[in-house]
């Protein structure tokens, strides 16, 4: 069988960025990518440990691999690799189901690890050098027009519910020069949307010259070309005025033809709870007053900014009154989007030692209340855009309908061209793949969760 690999990725954008580096290593080893698991001679799984359900999926995959192997001839055996975000205790569990369990930071050593005859059923337990060298691997981009560039990895925050500091260890920032070079190379290859990634990008600091995140944004903004910059994740505790100033000074241009200024007016700022006492119990070291001030300062300086957040409902001990403070915050902030999660304990975290006091039906009820509130605010915000012309990056097509994202990261459906430009645009775009290109789009309709528009 030809050397083919298949990649399965769970979790966040950081895991996808890791997967692109794993793919690059495998292709250098002579493997070719297949989208079909059954065709693969090697499967690499990039694991997420954030929720128990993500861990359960790995058990399900092990069973699936076992069934595939049972159908294969004796002379042939599917190779499997597990990497990504893995707790130490889980490495020991999963080694039973994988040929190799490898720390993502050691992924460049994969050829050596796989060549060792004795490496079957081996955990890669060599000392972790705690460097970010693996990020120097030139990634094999999964998309031609949208990519992620990790600027840091790890986390020092130890939020009570989160395993990331245990799986990715402490924060390490990448040198600004390497980040800039990677972005330049992506832009040169036609990339239009670049996500700067880190568990807490606001605490980014170049290890040598101490460039801050705001300064990094300014440096990136000087790169010529027509592309957008987005970033995630932010922590309110470290979100300072200099980043607001940088975002306000360097906005992405509204027109599809404009170049320069790349920072998009969109921010995901996870609040997690609207109640100070719950925030302290979550070990999130900011107050709601401070959070509100950041949002108000952002909106003063960047009036068209779209804001989303992350929320956990039913954290241990969260009372109805405390939850109502979150509802009030939602109504006041008027979010454009929110990622609402029902709390579930993750072993190894400090919150797992607390009594999971809110029942599942009550968590579901709280989730629904927030979703209903969000639906109203998101719809109202979307309605304000009707009649406006926005720059859109088209990312998909189904039948005659195109889909894309605005600079404010709103989903948009584009079914027709504006009447005045039908002929002009249709002839211009005939036989042309619009996917991965910027277009100016007039908003004609607002829905709860998306917009509709026409290319002009």
Binding track, positions 415-434, relative to ligand SF4; x by CB under 6 A = --------------------
The DSSP 8-state label assigned to residue 175 in this structure reads P
Compare residues 170 and 188 and give the one whose CB is closer to ligand SF4.
Answer: 170
CB of 310 to ligand SF4, least distance (A): 8
DSSP state of 107: G
Count, in order, helices (H) and strands (E) of the chain. 13, 19
Determine the interface stretch with ligand SF4 among 113-121, 133-141, 150-158, 362-370 (rule: CB under 6 A): 150-158
Q: How far is residue 427 from each of residues 257, 393, 420, measured CA to CA in Å?
A: 18, 20, 13
> Residue 323 burial by CB count (10 A; 0-12/13-18/19+): exposed, middle or buried?
buried
- Distance in Å, CB of 164 to ligand SF4, minimum: 4
Q: Which residues pair with 259 in a beta bridge?
A: none
Q: 4, 12, 10: which is closest to 37 by C-alpha?
A: 4
Minimal distance, residue 18 CB to ligand SF4, in Å? 15
* CA dist., res. 236 & res. 241, Å (int): 11
- Residue 287 lies near ligand SF4 (rule: CB under 6 A): no
The residue (of 141 and 350) whose beta carbon lies closer to ligand SF4 is: 350
Interaction mask 153-192, ligand SF4, x per CB under 6 A: --x-xxx--x-xx---------------------------
Q: x-or-dash pattern for ligand SF4, window 229-258, by CB under 6 A?
A: ----x-x-----------------------
Distances (CA, A) of 288 to 32, 233, 305, 354: 50, 18, 20, 23
- C-alpha gyration radius of the chain: 23
Site string for ligand SF4, 22-41 (x = CB under 6 A): --------------------
Q: Least Å distance between CB 155 and ligand SF4?
A: 3
Q: How far apart are CA 351 and CA 357, in angstroms?
A: 11
Instruction: State the CB neighbour count (10 A cutoff) for residue 59.
Output: 12
**Residue 165 or 225 with smaller CB distance to ligand SF4:** 165
Q: Report the Cα 403 to chain-centroid distance in Å.
A: 19
Contacts (Cβ under 8 Å, ≥6 apart) of 327:
274, 369, 370, 373
Question: For residues 171 and 206, which CB has a smaller minimum distance to ligand SF4 in the complex?
Answer: 171
Minimum CB separation from ligand SF4 for residue 157, in Å?
Answer: 4
Name residues contacting ligand SF4, limited to 38-77 (CB under 6 A). none
- Give the distance from CA 50 to its chain's centroid: 13
Identity of the residue, 157 or 287, whose beta carbon is nearer to ligand SF4 in the bound complex:
157
Q: How far is the CB of 49 from ligand SF4 (least distance, A)?
A: 11
Nearest-angstrom CA–CA distance, 234 and 232: 6
CB of 173: closest distance to ligand SF4 in angstroms? 14
Nearer CB in complex with ligand SF4: 44/162: 162
Local structure of 79: helix, strand or coil = strand
- Binding characters for ligand SF4, 197-226, by CB under 6 A (x = yes): --xx--------------------------
Q: What is the distance between the alpha carbons of residues 403 and 394, in angstroms, rounded to a whole number?
A: 6
Contact residues for ligand SF4, defined by CB under 6 A: 155, 157-159, 162, 164-165, 199-200, 233, 235
């Amino acid at each position: 069988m030809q050397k083919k690999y298949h990649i399965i990725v769970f979790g966040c954008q950081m895991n996808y960025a890791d997967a692109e580096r794993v793919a690059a290593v495998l292709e250098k080893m002579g493997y070719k990518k297949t989208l079909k698991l059954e065709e693969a001679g090697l499967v690499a799984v990039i694991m997420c440990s954030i929720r128990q359900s993500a861990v359960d999926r790995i058990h399900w995959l092990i069973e699936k691999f076992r069934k595939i192997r049972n159908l294969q001839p004796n002379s042939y055996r599917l190779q499997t690799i597990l990497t990504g975000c893995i707790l130490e205790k889980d490495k020991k569990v999963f080694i039973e189901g994988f040929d190799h369990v490898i720390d993502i930071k050691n992924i460049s050593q994969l050829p050596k690890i796989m060549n060792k005859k004795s490496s079957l059923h081996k955990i890669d337990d060599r000392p972790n050098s705690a460097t970010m060298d693996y990020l120097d691997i030139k990634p094999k981009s999964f998309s031609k027009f949208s990519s992620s560039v990790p600027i840091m990895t790890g986390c020092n925050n130890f939020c009570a519910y989160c395993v990331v500091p245990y799986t990715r260890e402490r924060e390490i920032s990448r040198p600004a020069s390497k980040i800039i070079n990677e972005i330049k190379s992506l832009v040169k290859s036609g990339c239009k949307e670049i996500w700067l990634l880190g568990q807490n990008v606001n605490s980014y600091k170049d290890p040598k010259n101490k460039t801050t995140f705001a300064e990094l944004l300014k440096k990136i903004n000087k790169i010529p070309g027509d592309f957008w910059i987005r970033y995630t994740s932010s922590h309110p505790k470290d979100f300072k005025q200099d980043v607001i100033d940088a975002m306000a000074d360097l906005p992405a241009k509204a027109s599809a033809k404009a170049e320069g200024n790349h920072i998009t007016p969109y921010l995901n700022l996870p609040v997690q709870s609207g109640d100070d006492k719950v925030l302290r119990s979550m070990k999130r070291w900011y107050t709601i007053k401070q959070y509100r001030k950041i949002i108000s300062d952002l909106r003063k300086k960047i009036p068209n900014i779209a804001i989303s957040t992350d929320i956990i409902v039913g954290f241990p001990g969260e009372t109805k009154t405390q939850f109502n403070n979150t509802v009030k915050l939602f109504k006041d902030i008027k979010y454009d989007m929110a990622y609402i999660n029902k709390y579930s304990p993750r072993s190894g975290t400090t919150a797992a030692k607390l009594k999971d006091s809110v029942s599942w039906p009550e968590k579901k009820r709280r989730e629904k209340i927030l979703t209903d509130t969000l639906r109203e605010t998101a719809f109202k915000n979307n309605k304000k855009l009707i009649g406006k012309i926005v720059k859109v990056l088209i990312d998909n097509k189904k039948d005659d309908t195109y889909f894309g994202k605005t600079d404010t990261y709103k989903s948009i459906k584009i079914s027709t061209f504006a009447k005045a430009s039908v002929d002009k645009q249709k002839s211009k775009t005939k036989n042309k793949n619009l996917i991965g290109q910027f277009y100016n789009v007039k908003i004609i309709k607002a829905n709860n969760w998306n917009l509709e528009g026409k290319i002009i």
